[in-house]
Amino acid sequence: MSMILTIADLKDLARRRVPKMFFDYADSGGWTESTYRANEEDFQKIKFRQRVLVDMSNRSLESTMIGEKVAMPVALAPTGMTGMQHPNGEMLAAQAAEEFGVPFTLSTMSICSIEDVASVTKKPFWFQLYVLRDKDFVLSLIDRAKAAKCSALVLTLDLQILGQRHKDIRNGLSAPPRFTPKHIWQVASRPGWCVGMAGTKRRTFRNIVGHAKGVGDLTSLSSWTTEQFDPHLSWKDVAWIKERWGGKLILKGILDKQDALMAAKTGADAIIVSNHGGRQLDGAPSSISVLEEIADAVGDTIEVHMDGGIRSGQDVLKALCLGAKGTYIGRPFLYGLGALGKDGVTKALEIIRKEMDITLALCGKRLVTEMGKDQLRR
């Protein structure tokens, strides 16, 4: 554990511990993966201004996201099938986030259910909603999130049709895993994972199975998504979802200035500048490359968050400098989880915190909330 110094170290370990089809599910993007790569690469082009002889004592990374106090402005992004990276994955990641003091967002497509996560946490978590054709089921999901005292609803806008990820098709991805010889080999070669999985009953989409009409099991995520995700979703729908939910609402998947302005008009509390981690529209720009123009366009009318490609605390600070009030990590926490379970998620957060703290000091700032365009070289 002491030699795990970077998110890349956690990724290497996860690759060795998680069955290939699930590791690949995390480590993949749409089609050529050009947007997935750009998300990470474009951060490298941004440079900080180094400042010296500035008092750097008493530093703080504390901030707020949608009015909630956070130990650092880094939430865990909603990720589907997290409970396949590690047994009970969503419950463990939520606990790690709670102990660290950052928000955890549970995906609609999670393995552990809203109720499972609520049963092991004390503070409210956030719930991410996909809008499906079965409106009764969507309403029941919103009501279940309310009953679990979730403090924000994250409405994902960029997956009404599933982008194609070649690795998932080649691997025959499914949850629970299928038992062809290839899958048996992939799973059997990760004995620690197998033992853990044998010890949990949480191996399918527990928000859905047994709750949505006619869904007994989900063997193919992509065929279910094709049938169930509602391609008619439009800006008008945001109003009834907002009304039914009645709490803080975050709109996820904005990548265009025009859409950001529309989102601000809905009265939502925040937008997430995001391309779904490069998993949807391959050929779309990286999130970090469009963040500034979107933040400038909406100004103070709506809080701006971003995700995509964050692999270090430095990346978080760059996003803050370019106008984000908060950020999210997807793969970094999944790699931590796959590598070392709950401790790995904590480790991912600690790595990011340390990198943020040292960078903040070397940029001559004491408060993370002071980071702005001035701290970048341009």
Ligand X SMILES: Cc1cc2nc3c(=O)[nH]c(=O)nc-3n(C[C@H](O)[C@H](O)[C@H](O)COP(=O)(O)O)c2cc1C
Q: Which residues bind ligand X (CB under 6 A)?
A: 25-26, 39, 77-80, 107, 109, 128, 156, 252, 274, 276-277, 279, 307-310, 329-331, 334
Rank residues 303 and 307 by Cβ distance to ligand X and give the closer one. 307
Shortest Å, Cβ 210 to ligand X: 19
Of the pair 51, 167, the CB lying nearest ligand X is at 167
Min separation Cβ 159 and ligand X, Å: 7
Cα–Cα distance between 137 and 145 in angstroms, integer? 12
Distance CA 202, CA 142 (A): 21
Q: Which is nearer to ligand X, 172 or 364 (CB)?
A: 172
| DSSP per-residue letters across 207-275 | TTTTTSTT-S--S-HHHHHHHHB-TT--HHHHHHHHHHH-SEEEEEEE-SHHHHHHHHHTT-SEEEE--
Out of 86, 211, 232, 276, pick the active-site residue: 276
Residue 152 and residue 250 in contact, taking contact as beta carbons nearer than 8 Å: yes
Nearer to ligand X, 287 or 365 (CB): 287
Closest by CA position to 144, among listed 128, 158, 159? 128
Q: Is 276 a catalytic residue?
A: yes
Helix (H, G, I), strand (E, B) or coil at 187: helix
Count of C-beta atoms within a 10 Å radius of residue 268: 20
Which DSSP state fits 176? S
Residue nearest to ligand X (CB): 330
Least distance (Å) from ligand X to the CB of residue 363? 23
Residue type at position 307: D
**Least CB distance from residue 38 to ligand X, whole Å?**
11
List active site positions. Answer: 276
